[in-house]
Structure 1
Amino acid sequence: MADATKTHVAKELKIGSPLISCRYEPKGRFVFAGAQDYQIWRWEPASGKKVQLKGADAWVRAIGFSKDGQTLLTGGYDGRLLWWPVEGEKPSRAIDAHHGWIKAVAVSPDGKLIATSGNDRLIKLWNFADGKPVRTLTGHESRVYNIAFHPNGTHLASSDLKCNIFDWEIATGKIARKMKAEKMHSYDKTFKADIGGARSMHFTADGTKLAIGGITNVTNAFAGVGNPAVVVLEWKTGKNLMQHLAKATFRGVAWGLALHPDGTIIAGAGGSGGGQIYFWKADGKNEFHKLKMKDTCRDLHLAPDQTHFVTAHYDGHLRICKMAEKSKG
């Protein structure tokens, strides 16, 4: 059983270049990470072995997996979508999917479709088996930061730079409705720039709520000065139920988000304030626990065993945290 208040760093691996993404593969054997030197790394925590994958040549923020866990998907700032054997070192398929950065990739619950979103303001659906295009979803007027399939498999949620949330009917490609994550977007009149967007987004397992991680209370869009926040929406109505914030002022963004089955909301935050992991109860505005990290946290992903999570850091380290008492001796 996980105990957030006992969370500690159990393992860490130095990659070298600053990291921007991390994901456990579905069976929990490997952790994959994207780095600023255009490389993707595979780490096997049990053995400590790390392998550099060859063929990405771009910043990779978007990572996903096939339903059976045998295939890795990555999307880079070069607009390419790549398929990789999970235990291989080279891509098995590559397609030019978007003009510019692919911000997110998601796989449908039945494993048949891939969804991608990008800076070109488009969402695209692809056949997982052969990589052929299925449908392009248009309607967003700014960069589409994140996407998530609803657990029922018939709808897709998307969120853009201005934190407009669209509910898409997958079968028709039509927008069923529009919502907004309040207080998760700002316009800086001085720099004439928008800042915001869902840096992380997940449905609860039962599909009744959608959680979005990002930044709020922005005072300087150019420098990205603001506070990390998580907004939870009721999916049926679109109502903003709760905005989870840090008790103490912390400058940064909630880059990575995880929803634990026990109801705990976990977010990895990073920025000029350093790195923090926050833990909130569903009905709590402020965290009930936090863990200071050695360096800026830029992503977070919950392990399949739901007692560990991995974080990616600017100092080039992957860190695995265990939500349990430290082993003695």
Structure 2
Amino acid sequence: MKLTRTKQYELPFAVLGLATTPDGANAYAACMDGSVHAVEMATGKKEVFEKKHSSYASGCVLLPDGKTLISAGYDGTLLWHDVATRKCIREVKAHSFWSWQMALSPDGRRVASVTGQYIAGGWKYEPAAESEPSVRVYDTASGALVASYSHTPPVLSCAFSPDSKHLAAANMMGEVRVWDVQAKGDKPVSQWTSPDFTSWGTTKSHHYSGGIYGLVFSPDGNALLGCGMGPMGDPMAGNGKMTWQRWDWRSGKKIDQIKDGQHGSGLMETLAFHPDGKHFLMAGRQAQGTWNAAVFSATDGSLITSWDSKSRLTHGRFTADGKSLVASVITGAGKVKPGQPWGAMGRVQMYSVEG
């Protein structure tokens, strides 16, 4: 498999969230100034949605009919936007803290958002208990709250199963929980902990860091993949092992993980399956090594291809035909002279996929 960048469009602010139409013709970018932008991928034409979040816009999802976009932000708010008019049609206060990540059920009926602040709960610096439900699920048609689930904060990632019946969420401590969204109550149907995504600082500062930043179910619904960064002694360095693991989510048993020698160091934050179900993408930011984005075999976990995008790749979305990948990017501002504005730090990219 070979991926080649074919298009790149600048946005004024770094991009934290990405949604796309199935054909990749249009992309929607949630940016660090709180704005959400629509990008026409053939021409690069850009339009900004009318209402901004009051803090970082952390994510966005597009409903299956293509008419409504829902965004989330560090203001703890979910905004419903009319795609045609770019106007906000609903605002829901989901959390008192940040929305770290959001996920849309494949049937388009539910949207989930996860939150939580890391506050030391004891002398061992273990996270304090949540002050509000860390996982909330809303009806996309009405905006009504349909479920609240407890987890240990901060909860950094979430994903729905292909049949829309289950929701998984993972936190900084490598704890994964899965709920049946059709059942009453908030007891998870499965939960487990992987110690391979969390660090305890032994130099400079002493606290936990890391976590599972990306989650995705396999297309057949039997496995769950998570990605992040392996342990490191200096939590400020950001140079832990790039890592992913795959689990049988019903039992929590680890099936596979990234192979030794196939990784560098840095935080991996996005996962996406190719439509063929035989490959998946993992990407993020590089600290050391030769790549920050790679495609792996879904059969045996081997590395198929990798590349260095020279910037932080926050999300990747394959088109329905599998021939293209749309990515959101954060790049450095470069040298900024005193009194001069920073350069554009956001990018939306398209890659062709061959083989």
Give the TM-score taking structure 2 as reference length: 0.83
- How far residue 59 of structure 1 moved from its aligned partner, in angstroms, is 1.3
Whether 2:147 is the aligned partner of 1:135: answer yes
* Contact 2:18 2:59 survives alignment (8 Å): no
* Contact 1:226 1:253 survives alignment (8 Å): yes
* Contact 2:168 2:177 survives alignment (8 Å): yes
Which of 49, 53, 61 is the matching residue for 1:53?
49
Superposition pairs of residues 1-329 of structure 1, within 5 angstroms: 4=1, 6-57=2-53, 58-119=55-116, 121=130, 122-138=134-150, 140-170=151-181, 171-172=183-184, 173-190=186-203, 191-245=205-259, 247=261, 250-260=264-274, 261-273=276-288, 276-284=292-300, 286-315=302-331, 316-324=346-354
* Contact 1:252 1:270 survives alignment (8 Å): yes
2: CA distance, partners of 1:99 / 1:32: 25
Q: In percent, how many aligned pairs have the same letter?
A: 23
* Contact 2:18 2:61 survives alignment (8 Å): no
- How far residue 285 of structure 1 moved from its aligned partner, in angstroms, is 5.2
**Partner SS state of residue 95, structure 1:** strand
- RMSD between superposed Cα atoms in Å: 2.2
Structure with the largest fraction of strand: 1
* Structure 2 CA distance for partners of 1:70 and 1:27, relative to 1, 3 Å: farther
Query: What amino acid is aligned across from residue 252 of structure 1 in structure 2?
Result: G
- How far residue 147 of structure 1 moved from its aligned partner, in angstroms, is 1.4
Unaligned stretches of 5+ residues in structure 2 = 118-129, 332-345
Query: What amino acid is aligned across from residue 169 of structure 1 in structure 2?
Result: D
2: CA distance, partners of 1:183 / 1:322: 33
Unaligned stretches of 5+ residues in structure 1 = none
2: CA distance, partners of 1:155 / 1:285: 24
**Partner SS state of residue 220, structure 1:** coil
Give the TM-score taking structure 1 as reference length: 0.89
**Partner SS state of residue 183, structure 1:** helix
- How far residue 27 of structure 1 moved from its aligned partner, in angstroms, is 4.7
1:80-133 CA distance string (max 9 Å, x none): 001112233222111111011111222233332222111255111212211122
Deviating more after overlay: 123-132 vs 284-293 = 284-293
1: CA distance, partners of 2:88 / 2:284: 31
* Structure 2 CA distance for partners of 1:247 and 1:113, relative to 1, 3 Å: same
* Contact 1:229 1:246 survives alignment (8 Å): no
1: CA distance, partners of 2:37 / 2:291: 22
- How far residue 323 of structure 1 moved from its aligned partner, in angstroms, is 1.0
Which 4+ runs in 1 deviate beyond 6 A? none
Deviating more after overlay: 269-278 vs 40-49 = 269-278
- How far residue 241 of structure 1 moved from its aligned partner, in angstroms, is 1.2
**Partner SS state of residue 327, structure 2:** strand
* Contact 1:247 1:287 survives alignment (8 Å): no
* Structure 2 CA distance for partners of 1:137 and 1:236, relative to 1, 3 Å: closer
